[in-house]
Amino acid sequence: MTEVEENLWECAVDGKTGEMTVTRDDGDSTSALDWTRLGEQWRDLLVSPVPQYELHHAVDLPFAAGESCRRSAPPLDLVVLCARAATEAGIASGGWFVFEKADRWAFRSNEFSNERYEACLERLRAQIPKLRAVVEDMLLAAAKSSSRRHGGGGGAETHRSFDTAASLEKVHAIWRM
């Protein structure tokens, strides 16, 4: 797929402090593709209908000792994350993905919407703390399970700090290529 999108709103949440910082707040967009410049033939190839907005979530979890994208399974099960994010955080994602990074697990999601900009932004902002709670709970459960597997009583889990981010984009076009 190839998409033309416009970033409208972005935030980051510090994993240590929990503080959310809005890094972009452009409001809704009135921009549109100029089909005369792009070429009308591209309009015929669009995925139909093109959603108006796309909501994104990012979870960045630094590698623990011995972890890497090429040697370890992710500490968060994507099937469980997708299900819990949907039921507990209201994220109706098109999917969750893990991107390869040199120093961290990079979990990403996308969710399309045809609601108004204000409704999408309100929804996204409400999802952020709920998703953090889901990830926190999943990491704690994984630590307890690992501790038990390695002969511990499950009480000496270590807290894994993680950062999150979210963004809202205006979708102008999507093509299947």
In b/e form, how buried is each residue of 138-172, taking b as 16+ CB within 10 angstroms? bbeeebbeebeeeeeeeeebeebebbbbbbbbbbb
Please, what are the averages of pLDDT over each run of 10 residues along the chain (177 residues)? 95 93 96 90 90 97 89 92 97 93 95 97 97 96 73 60 97 91
pLDDT of residue 149: 62
- Cα distances (angstroms) measured from residue 164 to each of 38, 51, 133: 35, 24, 11
Residue 174 CA to residue 38 CA, distance in Å, equals 14
pLDDT of residue 65: 87
Q: At what angle do helices 117-149 and 78-89 cross, to 10 degrees?
A: 130
pLDDT of residue 152: 59
Residue 33 CA to residue 4 CA, distance in Å, equals 9
Q: pTM for the complete prediction?
A: 0.89
- Cα distances (angstroms) measured from residue 3 to each of 47, 58, 64, 112: 10, 19, 34, 12
Arithmetic mean of pLDDT over the chain? 91
Q: What are the contacts of 85-88 at 24+ separation with CB within 8 A? A: 85/57, 85/109, 85/131, 85/134, 88/130, 88/133, 88/134
pLDDT of residue 71: 86
pLDDT of residue 72: 87
pLDDT of residue 144: 84
